[in-house]
Chains A and B, each alone.
Chain A
Amino acid sequence: MTRTDLEPIYKTDALIAEDIDAYLEKHQHKTMLRFITCGSVDDGKSTLIGRLLYDSKMIFEDQLAALENDSKRVGTQGQEIDFALLVDGLAAEREQGITIDVAYRFFATESRKFIVADCPGHEQYTRNMVTGASTADLACILIDARKGVLVQTKRHSFLCHQLGIKNLVLAVNKMDLIDYDQAKYDAIIEDYRKFAESIGIENFTAIPISGLAGDNITTQSENTGWYDGPTLMQHLEAVEVRSDANLAKPFRMPVQWVNRPNLDFRGFSGLISTGSVKPGDKVRSLPSGKTSTVKSVVTMDGDLEEAISGQSVTITLEDEIDCSRGDVLSAADSPPEVADQFESTIVWMDEEPLVVGRAYWMKLGSQMVSVTVAEPKFEINVNTMDHLAAKTLELNSIGVSEITTDRAIVFDPYSENRALGGFILIDKISNRTVGAGMLHFSLRRAQNVHWQAVDITRDDHAAMKNQKPRVLWFTGLSGSGKSTIANEVEKKLAIMNRHTFLLDGDNVRHGLNKDLGFTESDRIENIRRIGEVAKLMTDAGLIVLTAFISPFRADRKLVRDMMGEGEFIEVHVDTPLEVAEQRDVKGLYKKARAGELKNFTGIDSPYEEPEEPEIRVNTVAMSPEEAADYIIKQILPLK
């Protein structure tokens, strides 16, 4: 196919002219897929969307005439049609020649209706990308085949992954400009795969395309004979939509409005976020915890035998239970959690930075509460995925913080349920939407697990062991000597009749944390669990020694913040990289240098040295035994 061949491939369905009733019948059963396109400024996003609209016959003659006219006047394709002009919006942007906001486009094929969130590629518009991704089932990430994987590609993939988009398409665009070279294409895919794995993206679908020339958009291109996967359109038509996945989860419906037309009718109106409901089902209203049975599922079209996730309905119950806007009706035997303190990822969207400790409105489902955000545990550099120390969050930055609501709210982790885990933050003075966030887990599972009052306190435990409990947190490069020194310290403490326990990679990775891999989130979870276990052991009165590389300051701070004042002792086992690499006790550096090990600290992943460790030992100047003696001297007295 040549570039000037502008015949639409998706021709009008012959059925329209022949049998319109049959056509309508068919099209009433279409499903809907929402997706987002992201790419850098010149990756050809607008051209691709224009092409999808064009090929699916969404462009009318008058628009086409205007398009041809505009293409010649202001287009970037010479005398040829500039599809990008079809999707340019606000006048100001058009003059600048870039898209600066989220625009929604629509097209349909025989089996699906599509809503495309067209998102800008500019660095400063993380806000818009996150907005577009929040409602998307799929993300189409564009790469310019000539440029390969760029910083922007990584940023977009990371943000889509954070927003929980499971279906990722890597559209390698402008294949025509690299002569449809398979080797170059394969190299890009391999490059991307490495990156994707490193941030925990489990799979993605790569497609070689040309938005301009139309290769592999709706029909298999002859130019890429070596590619036998689906075209972009085939993939979009086949991929599973999120509402199907939501159906398998337990029933949840945030109550929006109580419907009371008269004294005899009291219904609870809302959009079912997950699961299904039918008359006779036992339901629980949260946060009250009261249960009842569904009497009817009411709609204007008659009562339903069953309603499923994605439907807006009104539910009546057998019993008069207290339930109003903000409450959540759920399956009685698997209700959501109720809590008031959480760890969450927050994306800041306002010119005025986050003010730590200030009260903002938080809207989650139909709940509106007052919330305060603690100092971020870390900010994530969206280009490198590095964790940075941060005092606040500025426009377009993303970080992890603890948040506290003024009353308990009903929630699910975002990864389980977007509707009960995603929230927005609203400034109380300006009323602007200043941030968006995703709940990970509650910190105090106050409403679910009641603290058992104990008679033997942690002080009693410590007194019986005649010692002050604490955590000696050894951190340093692989091969720096952490385990060796920690082991020496423990032996010496045993001789001194102290009660200790050593946690290291071997006894933790094989048991407690064997379900965790090496993705970023798993790595944080690994450290968090170790921290929690160490904390329990200090409650039991033990002196705990841990030996983990723990390369990131933010992770170590996470644990430090869990412990009581003075109980966390950071021990930096300071060994220069050259020395550690030379020792290479386990042969890991060799493998990492050969590219067989990815994300290896010191080689292709950074080690963030402690800025003010309680103890620093130099293993070049000291033997392990000398180091152990030095450490014990620093922590005396032990009681």
Chain B
Amino acid sequence: MTLTHLQRLEAESIHIMREVVTEAEKPVMLYSIGKDSAVMLHLAKKAFYPSPPPFPLLHVDTTWKFKAMYDLREKSAEDAGMELLVYHNPEAEEMGINPFDHGPLHTDMWKTQGLKQALDKYGFDAAFGGARRDEEKSRAKERIFSFRTASHGWDPKSQRPELWNLYNARKKKGESIRIFPLSNWTELDIWQYIHLENIEIVPLYYSAKRPTFEYEGGLFMADDIERLEKVMGKRPEITERSIRFRTLGCFPLTGAVESEAATLPEIIQEMLLTTTSERQGRVIDKDSGDASMEKKKQEGYF
């Protein structure tokens, strides 16, 4: 009997989560409601069963997520028997920061600053995140336990070597760790696991007829048309199209793809036959060449 690659990945992720709850003082799971978060949450349930996962879920919200994401967020937390914390950066809220008028500032204020504020507010010293090493070139070298200074900075030089499955979680007061239990999973692994384990994901991943508009060469979904009209200054031209999303973020920043894939096998099929990488639909990677994700990480973006 040999374990399959998914069984080995599952066992590794569970091992990582158990190490964190025993070595950190106050862990939290960052929950973005996307497919990777869904897998991470599922693995947390498995790791501690029959106990509920001994930490809360934290959603650092931008208020610009798709409605379907908010719906699943509440349901998932309840099903898992976990406390759900939602954080909005009060400054961003007050200034009305939005993706149309403020460009990169939108991500910086809501997400980067919002995350730092939330971690400080609750005093979390360890935060699980769903990032994977295969997502982007600079992430290939990211550790599973990633250390942040008291000001949440990431310094490539001060990261610790990780040997065998031994993780050093010791840190000074004020310092924190981001832990990536899905580091060794690939996009295909995630989809296969969702399929195999029957994990509930946001319906937007499945294709359906949805209201769309084109903006700066991309295809977007008009999730909240009233609000869009307000910030864009005009009502965008809406067309019904059969679309789905390969990744989920803020609805005005996340490009849709035209697709007929309405079931998981069809989604996987489409993914395998497609020839563009996952992050292409996200605007965030493009703003300053291919080292941009690394820069964002140094600034404290997840």
Contact = CB atoms under 8 A, between A and B. Distances in A.
Interface of A: 12-13, 16-17, 20-21, 23-24, 27-32, 60-63, 66, 87-92, 94, 101-106, 108, 112-113, 115, 118, 127-128, 130-131, 134-135, 241, 243-244, 247, 256-257, 259-261, 265, 267, 269-271, 298-301, 308, 310-312, 314, 325, 349, 361, 363-364, 366, 418-419, 422-424, 426, 431-433, 436
A113 B189 contact: yes
A113 B192 CA distance: 13
B8 A310 contact: yes
For the complex of A and B, 10 pairs with smallest distance between CB atoms? A61-B275, A32-B5, A312-B14, A300-B49, A113-B5, A134-B163, A261-B51, A60-B277, A91-B291, A103-B140
A104 B163 contact: no
A569 B22 CA distance: 52
Given A20-B266, A256-B22, A419 B277 contact: no
A101 B134 CA distance: 16
Interface in B248-299: 265-266, 268-269, 272-277, 280, 290-291, 294
A130 B163 contact: yes
Q: Which of A91, A243, A260, A419 is most buried by chain B, counting CB atoms within 10 A of its CB? A: A91
B46 A257 contact: no
A308 B189 CA distance: 22
A419 B4 contact: no
B275 A349 contact: no
A525 to B, nearest CB: 25
A31 B3 contact: yes
Contacts of B294: 90-91
Contact of B1 (A94, A298, A308, A349): A308
Interface stretch (B60-68, B154-162, B207-215, B224-232): B154-162
Contacts of A433: 160-163, 168
A108 B188 contact: yes
A62 B156 contact: no
Interface in B181-210: 183-184, 186, 188-189, 192, 195-196
Q: Which of A90, A131, A433 is most buried by chain B, counting CB atoms within 10 A of its CB? A: A433
A538 to B, nearest CB: 40
A117 B145 CA distance: 17
B137 interface: yes
Contacts of A21: 265
B170 A431 contact: yes
A63 B162 CA distance: 29
Contacts of A243: 2-3, 8
B171 interface: yes
Nearest to A365: B166
Nearest to B156: A90
A31 B2 contact: yes
A127 B138 contact: no
Contact of A106 (B51, B186, B196, B273): B186
A105 B192 CA distance: 19
Given A62-B276, A422-B164, A104 B3 contact: no
Contacts of A261: 50-52
A94 to B, nearest CB: 8
B165 A299 contact: no
A12 B273 contact: yes
Nearest to B158: A432
Contacts of A24: 192, 195, 265, 268
A265 B47 CA distance: 15
B148 to A, nearest CB: 13
Contacts of A298: 49-50
Interface in B87-144: 133-134, 137-138, 140-141
Interface of B: 1-12, 14-15, 18-19, 21-22, 45-52, 133-134, 137-138, 140-141, 156, 158, 160-166, 168, 170-172, 183-184, 186, 188-189, 192, 195-196, 265-266, 268-269, 272-277, 280, 290-291, 294
12 contacts: A20-B269, A24-B195, A31-B4, A31-B5, A87-B140, A89-B138, A101-B156, A104-B133, A104-B184, A298-B49, A418-B164, A431-B171
A422 B45 contact: no
A106 B133 contact: yes
A298 to B, nearest CB: 7
A101 to B, nearest CB: 5
B15 A271 contact: yes
Contacts of B268: 20, 24
Contacts of B188: 108
Contacts of A366: 19, 22
A310 B11 contact: yes
A24 B10 CA distance: 18
A190 B50 CA distance: 58
Given A103-B141, A134-B164, A271-B15, A28 B196 contact: yes
A422 B2 contact: no
Contact of A17 (B47, B186, B273, B280): B273
Contacts of B274: 60
Given A91-B291, A259-B51, A310 B7 contact: yes
Contacts of A260: 51
A131 B163 CA distance: 5
Contacts of B138: 89-91
A514 B265 CA distance: 60
Contacts of B50: 259, 261, 265, 267, 298
Given A298-B49, A312-B14, 6 more contacts: A31-B5, A260-B51, A265-B50, A426-B168, A436-B161, A436-B163
Given A24-B268, A260-B51, A310-B11, A61 B163 contact: no
Contacts of A92: 156
Contacts of A299: 46, 49
A261 to B, nearest CB: 4
A557 to B, nearest CB: 29
A62 B280 contact: yes
Contacts of B192: 24, 27-28
Given A20-B268, A61-B276, A300-B45, A127 B7 contact: no
A16 B188 CA distance: 13
Contacts of A422: 163-164, 166
A311 B166 contact: no
A325 B18 CA distance: 11
Contacts of A32: 3-5, 8-9
A62 B46 contact: no
Nearest to A101: B141
Contacts of A112: 5
Contact of B290 (A12, A66, A256, A423): A66
Given A89-B140, A431-B170, A241 B163 contact: no
Q: Which of B134, B140, B164, B291 is most buried by chain A, counting CB atoms within 10 A of its CB? A: B164
A558 B7 CA distance: 45
A131 B162 CA distance: 6
A423 B170 CA distance: 15
Nearest to B195: A24
A308 B158 CA distance: 36
A308 B141 CA distance: 30
Nearest to B133: A104
A60 B6 contact: no
A261 B52 CA distance: 8
A88 B138 CA distance: 8
Given A127-B161, A300-B46, A314-B49, A424 B172 contact: no
Given A104-B184, A298-B50, A90 B141 contact: yes
Contacts of A241: 2
Contact of B11 (A128, A271, A418): A271
A405 to B, nearest CB: 15
B247 to A, nearest CB: 14
Contacts of A267: 50
A17 B171 CA distance: 50
A92 B295 CA distance: 11
A17 B269 contact: yes
A9 B192 CA distance: 24
A477 B175 CA distance: 58
